[in-house]
Chains A and B, each alone.
Chain A
């Protein structure tokens, strides 16, 4: 069975500093990995995804994520945080071998707080 872990419930960072939101995964086959962001009282918005190829994936709003197969990780990063980046971030995985209607397995979410 596929699973995703986001080990930090909350990440605090000062505006202008780099940020990292951690994600590790477990799948039986090749992983397809996604990051979504959720602003208050809104649905999830797609940020970026890793399918294949370059391990560094660039996405919306200046975010990027690095796929590390040996560490089974897909950490979300941004070089310089903005107060407006404060939101709830979800990592998700899809396992090709567990295909069932494109089912995504989500992590528990990490709340990012960027302080001025």
Chain B
């Protein structure tokens, strides 16, 4: 049971390049999330998904896109990388049943992205 896995661990992009951050969970969780963590700041929610085929914007969605074609995978796409997207990105998952407000989110190890 690997939990939540993310690839790559590190990446350097040039301004305007695109990339996809991969996230996979093997816990059969319905809910999945993408956060970014900037230095000295807490985590900010970028996008989330409550099940395959369903995604919605979080607090800071601009410049990102997501898809959820399977329960296991929740990739995050950066189309035109900008220096402001330099951050550490965390994927998380949770299983909200029976009470969606009390469940615990499980986090992946993160992807450290630098845009130059």
Residues of A within 8 A of B (CB): 4, 9, 32, 34, 36, 41-46, 49, 51, 90, 92, 94, 96, 99-109
Q: Please name the residue on chain A nearest to B54 by beta carbon.
A: A101
Q: Please name the residue on chain A nearest to B55 by beta carbon.
A: A101
Q: How large is the interface on B (under 10, 10 to 19, 20 to 34, 35 or more residues)?
A: 20 to 34
Q: Please name the residue on chain B nearest to A50 by beta carbon.
A: B102
Contact (Cβ within 8 A) B101 A99? yes
Contact (Cβ within 8 A) A108 B42? yes
Sample of 23 A–B contacts (CB below 8 Å): A9-B40, A32-B101, A32-B102, A43-B4, A43-B108, A43-B109, A44-B43, A44-B107, A46-B104, A46-B105, A92-B42, A101-B33, A101-B48, A102-B96, A102-B100, A102-B101, A102-B105, A103-B48, A104-B45, A104-B105, A108-B41, A109-B40, A109-B41
Q: Please name the residue on chain A nearest to B103 by beta carbon.
A: A102
Asked whether B64 is an interface residue with its Cβ less than 8 Å from the other chain, the reply is no
Q: Please name the residue on chain A nearest to B3 by beta carbon.
A: A43
